[in-house]
Amino acid sequence: MTKDIKRIAVFTSGGDAPGMNAALRAVVRTASFNDLHVYGIKGGYEGMVDGNLSRLEVRDVGNIIHRGGTILKTARSERFRTPEGRKSAYEALLAFDIDACIGIGGDGTFTGANIFSQEFPDIPLIGVPGTIDNDLYGTDYTIGFDTAVNTAIDAADKIRDTADSHNRLFFVEVMGRHSGFIALNTGIGSGAASVLIPEIETTLEGLVETLRKGAKRKKLFSLVIVAEGNRYGGAAEIAKRVQDSFDYYDTKVAIIGHLQRGGSPTAMDRVLASRLGFGAVEGLIKGEKNVMVGLVNNKIKYTPFEVAIGKTKIPDKDLIRMAEILAI
């Protein structure tokens, strides 16, 4: 055990993700088991800058494993982007005698953590990947992704019913400003005719061709899953452009939106969050720092922040082809 670590601070940051509470519970309880004191920072980096810390005991994280959102609240902090803001955060941590930090969040969170750890190397930091986007290198899955996909598939199933009744073509938009993992898995799981994601170029001509072939095969309705961050824009824009050249179907648009960020975490997310929260504290104890804890091939792995945020995890292009073949 690194001798100096007695008090750790934990925070959630960036977009919330179902399972963040389960990860927090695991952090607090693993730390307590190892005789470490835990402080919760309210409101992510904003709370760190303001010194908004308070003691978290074992019972404070009771009855939260099944709750969506984050009891610590979250924020996107402009002040933490400035050297002055980070210095205030550092001073606040020193005022509470904090020896190490655990941040639960996504790439923005770890970008901030990486800078902070270079400026203030005496406070080791470990990141826990909590984002519905699943876009972090160094973990097969991020906390919240599975729940978000289940929510999106549930919504797509309902849209499928009405699409079938009316013989309609639906463009269903899911989250993913820069990433298509939610769209891809939703597309496969909901039997969509096509999936459009930011990482892989799909031409609108190609999409129309796929829909045309479907219509020739007497496909009476179709779903197309669109990740919000496409180069053509969101589902509404794409639907309009497709309809201009292919008006065989009555076309509708459904945007699932922030529904995907809430709700009770799935079993997979609860287990993942528990393992990663546990792994974060054990990592700190073993001397890991400035790394993200992840699950790779079902084993805990620590990846330096700069690799986790620097390398891009890309969805498998072949899966889009597979989704289209399975939907003929």
Count Cβ atoms below 10 Å from residue 215 Cβ, excluding itself. 15
Selecting among 133, 135, 146, 269, the annotated active-site residue is: 133
What is the Cα–Cα distance from 150 to 142, expressed in whole angstroms? 14
Active site residue 133: yes
The residue among 99 and 107 lying less far from ligand F6P, judged by its C-beta, is 107
Q: Is 176 in the site for ligand F6P (CB under 6 A)?
A: yes
The residue among 100 and 182 lying less far from ligand F6P, judged by its C-beta, is 182
What is the Cα–Cα distance from 78 to 74, expressed in whole angstroms? 13
The residue among 89 and 175 lying less far from ligand F6P, judged by its C-beta, is 175
Minimal distance in Å, beta carbon 129 to ligand F6P?
11
Over the window 79 to 108, marking each residue x when it contacts ligand F6P by CB under 6 A and - when it does not, the resulting string is ---------------------------x--
Query: Segment near ligand F6P (CB under 6 A), from 128-136, 196-204, 297-305, 317-325?
Result: 128-136
Q: Is 175 in the site for ligand F6P (CB under 6 A)?
A: yes
Over the window 234 to 273, marking each residue x when it contacts ligand F6P by CB under 6 A and - when it does not, the resulting string is ---------------------------x------------
What is the Cα–Cα distance from 194 to 184, expressed in whole angstroms? 9
Query: Segment near ligand F6P (CB under 6 A), from 127-135, 165-173, 204-212, 291-299?
Result: 127-135
Contact in structure between 171 and 328 (CB atoms under 8 Å): no
Q: Which residues bind ligand F6P (CB under 6 A)?
A: 15, 106, 131-133, 175-177, 228, 261
